[in-house]
Amino acid sequence: MQGMVDCLYAKCIPCICDAVLAELEKLGDKYRVALRIAKDKRFERIPNPPGCQDSTYADDVIVEIAKQHRCYIVATCDRDLKRRIRKIPGVPIMFVHNHRYSVERLPEATVGGAPRF
């Protein structure tokens, strides 16, 4: 979480949707550390949107949430998901590049950081 705060220069609350948690549980022991992190109480749980309740593919749910709300920064390293999110105007994408967090398509007003008074 500290890496996200350092990248955005702001307090942030990581959110995870139910479909991603279900997918991590289904993947088993290989992703148990990711599942343990995702179940941390500091993460906010987002229920699947209506119409996506029975969807088993987490990427579809993430894209649907981003389309409906457009107030989230989607964090992913998945190339296909990034391609789908780029088609939604106004939704920034956070990813890891050269062992650091980077944000793509952050609104112009926040690029220079917080205003100084």
Q: Which CATH number goes with the domain that contains 39?
A: 3.40.50.1010
Is residue 31 a part of any domain in this protein? yes
Structural domains of the chain, count: 1
Is residue 16 assigned to a domain? yes
Range of the domain at 98: 2-106
Encode pLDDT of 36-78 as tens digits. 999 999 999 998 888 776 666 899 999 999 998 888 899 999 9
Residue 19 pLDDT > 80, yes or no? yes
Give the model's pLDDT for residue 109. Answer: 45
Residue 111 lies in a domain: no
Residue 63's contacts (CB-CB under 8 Å, 6 or more residues apart) are: 81, 84, 85, 88
pTM over 0.75: yes
Q: Report the C-alpha gap between 103 and 6 in whole angstroms.
A: 12
Q: Are the C-beta atoms of residues 78 and 48 closer than 8 Å to each other? A: no
29 within domain boundaries: yes
The pLDDT tens digits for 88-100 are: 988 999 998 888 8
User: Do the domain assignments include residue 115?
Assistant: no
Name, in order, each residue with C-beta under 8 angstroms of 102's C-beta and a sequence gap of 6 or more. 7, 94, 95, 96
Residue 94 resides in a domain: yes
Q: Where does the pLDDT of residue 117 fall: very low under 50, low under 70, confident under 90, or very high at 90 and above?
A: very low
Provide the residue type at 26 as one letter.
Answer: K
